Structure 1
Amino acid sequence: MEFSSSSSSSSSSFLKSEPQFIYDVFINFWGEDIRRKFVSHLHSALSQSQVKTLINEENLQEGMKQEERMRAIAGSKIAIIVFSKSYTESTCCLIELEKIIECHQTFDQIVLPVFYEIDLLDVRHLKDDFGKALEETAHKSYSGEQTEHALLRWSRALNKAAGINGLDIRHFMHDAELVEVIVSRVQTKLDYAELSITRFPVELESHVEKVMNKGKDREEPEKCYC
């Protein structure tokens, strides 16, 4: 199966204006084992916390156009990337990663990497089987120069994602504890995002009150506020 070399570059057209958020969280991952052991529990915990969550494999219809998947990612406030040993075996997963990094750089989409049974350095430096699987995926999905272009794009995206402050399963006693921390962090970041959105109107109201008070006090000379 081959993909067009313009697959990732064409996605930039969706970010020309301020994104219209549809989801709170998009979960990017690969692997049935990861879904059953970790992602399903994370998805359930987020849903119970009233966090509107989209999963790349489960919620997106099979055969869904790449363009629609890219819009779904751009329409999410937070992207959770679950890195595992099998992550680089999926072309779709890697293309989604490119889009997530693009959204992070373009409109500061919040990105939370989770390293599940894989070392951060393996992701950043494409070590051992993780790096070999990336090359195999590129050769399987592309041909000619497109293969090298894909490898370069994916390597950069993986390196950038690994450089973002994330969570490592090895620092927690079990999956449940990690899920709890992720849900708490997501809720905090969503609350902060809402405060950032409403901050300007609150300040504007404060300035209006100052102007009205000035009109009442004619004895003081007007001051210039820059």
Structure 2
Amino acid sequence: MEFASSSLSSSSSSFLTSEPHFIHDVFINFGGEEIGRRFVSHLQSVLLQAQVKTLISVENLQEGMKLEEQLRAIGGTKITIIVFSKSYAETTRCLLELEKIIECHETFGQIVLPVFYEIGPSDVRYQMYDFGKTLEETAHRSYSGEQRKYALSKWNRALTTAAVMTGWDVRNFR
């Protein structure tokens, strides 16, 4: 997963004044190319029209930042929007970004808004059904042995933490 940065003039007000220094107003975290075309691209367009500096996680884009730089960039945003979908747990990078998002929320008070698109909050919170199966498959593809257990433990915690936050279930607005 790579990042595309869109930068229009940013709002002059900063509603989080403690560290870190904010470079972007919003980071959008999501997994799956289809969700990017169907929902995230529209969300980004609306944010840009409102002159919100947006950093977006995009799969299969040209070479960009290294993972460490991407994770550091997440810490430089005021708000993170996590778009959970059926394909969210398919990539390790998306889940590593989620870990960083939760860390920034707990450490710096970064605002996190979960959006549940074609999936329920309880599926994410409890890693149920196809979502849980996909998470397990991603862990098996990416890690082995104790590393796999450790990664799953961290991902489970991050997913549960994010899923219990006040968010938006898109299924209720169709």
Structure 1 length-normalised TM = 0.67
Question: Displacement, 1:113?
Answer: 0.1
2:168 corresponds to which residue?
Answer: 167
Measured against aligned partners, the alpha-carbon deviations of 1:86-117 in whole angstroms (never above 9, x if no partner) come to: 11111000000000000000010000000000
Aligned equivalents of 1:78 and 1:135: distance in 2? 28
Aligned equivalents of 1:62 and 1:72: distance in 2? 16
Residues 149/133 of structure 1: CA separation in 2 closer, same or farther (3 Å cut):
same
**1:96-175 correspondence runs (5 A):** 96-173=97-174
2:4 corresponds to which residue?
Answer: none
Please tell me the residue identity of whatever aligns with 1:142. Answer: Y
2:80 corresponds to which residue?
Answer: 79
Aligned equivalents of 1:162 and 1:152: distance in 2? 15
- 2:82–2:114 Cα contact (<8 Å) kept: yes
Higher Rg of the two aligned structures = 1
Asked if residue 50 in structure 1 is aligned to residue 44 in structure 2, the reply is no
Secondary structure of the 2:78 match is strand
**1:211-226 correspondence runs (5 A):** none
Structure 1 segments, 4+ long, off by >4 Å, are none
Question: Displacement, 1:51?
Answer: 0.3
Measured against aligned partners, the alpha-carbon deviations of 1:2-60 in whole angstroms (never above 9, x if no partner) come to: xxxxxxxxxxxxxxx820100000000011111111100000000000000010116x8
Measured against aligned partners, the alpha-carbon deviations of 1:70-98 in whole angstroms (never above 9, x if no partner) come to: 11100000000000001111100000000
Residues 165/154 of structure 1: CA separation in 2 closer, same or farther (3 Å cut):
same
Structure 2: runs of 5+ lacking an equivalent: 1-17
Question: Displacement, 1:61?
Answer: 5.5
Measured against aligned partners, the alpha-carbon deviations of 1:140-170 in whole angstroms (never above 9, x if no partner) come to: 1112210000000000000000010000112
Specify which structure has the higher proportion of helix.
Answer: 1
Aligned equivalents of 2:63 and 2:30: distance in 1? 15
Aligned equivalents of 2:171 and 2:131: distance in 1? 18
1:89 corresponds to which residue?
Answer: 90
Identical columns (%): 69
1:36 corresponds to which residue?
Answer: 37
Root-mean-square deviation (CA, aligned residues, Å) is: 1.6
- 2:36–2:58 Cα contact (<8 Å) kept: no
Aligned equivalents of 2:166 and 2:114: distance in 1? 7
Aligned equivalents of 2:64 and 2:27: distance in 1? 18
Structure 1: runs of 5+ lacking an equivalent: 1-16, 174-226
Secondary structure of the 1:97 match is helix
Please tell me the residue identity of whatever aligns with 1:89. Answer: E
Please tell me the residue identity of whatever aligns with 1:99. Answer: K
